[in-house]
Amino acid sequence: MTYEITGTTGLTALLGRPVAHSISPQMHNEAFRLLNLDYRYLAFDVAPKELPLAVAGLKAVQIRGFNLTMPHKTAILPLVDELTDAARLSGAVNTVINEQGRLIGHTTDGIGYMQSAADAGCDIIGKTMTLLGAGGAATAICVQAALDGVSAIHMFKRRNLSWDDCQKFVRRISRETGCQVALYDIADIDALKSCISESAVLTNATNVGMAPDTNRSIVPEEIFFPELIVSDIIYNPRETLLLKQAKSRGCKTFNGLYMLLYQGAASFECWTGQKMPVSAIKDKYFS
């Protein structure tokens, strides 16, 4: 089969704002090419108020599936027909599968994070995690970590209008998975210090430190200690201020680049039924 767009070419996509920086189109299109699959993947910059219209349009043209990135991972929830257990528990969707006009919301962010941790040689199963943030990526990571066997998760977020909903979330995850999840105010530095001190891994799942605002970090540098693993879901820049500070204190670190790879691979399999050729994609786009 020649790699040309035909009358039967299937569409997949990314919806977000911004999306121009994303490497997902290159990653998926190269995987389609390598496997001779008749699909293409495009990135669409969609304003929040336009999301319902965009989803309706994609459904109308029989898109096979699409990804959601910020700020759409929770806004998509009322626009799908069904949720997988992981999406239901996390209250967020990053992958939609179109099954003959029925949109199924799924989340692969947590799968991507846990695989990237394993890829970095970090064994966090049975251990304690401190997780910064409570957005779509953070809740997906929390759910998957709990399902996979992380023993306790300290989640930190701003005490804002979503605080009570997040309290309900952590109680639900604790109840349904057996992992002990607790919520803390991210402004409480004493609580942050205490929780990190008993954790094997600290994960930043906020956008603090993302380009172009790269000179910010949530965690005071003196809190880090050499035995702590520090990860950041941000991959632009590849080394955030948080990771630089952690590395200077002797911590093992990893960024969000491979999380992006593995969550994409999981989405790819949802749409095509085939495994993404991860090694080839990693060598070309993630080295």
Active site residues: 73
Longest pairwise C-alpha distance within the chain: 61
CA distance 278 to 200: 28
Tell me the CB-side half-sphere exposure of residue 155, using CA atoms within 13 A: 30
- Three-class SS state of 171: helix
Buried (b) or exposed (e) across 138-166, using 16+ Cβ within 10 A?
A: bbbbbbbbbbbebbbbbbbbeeeeeeeeb
Q: Are 122 and 252 in contact (CB under 8 A)?
A: yes
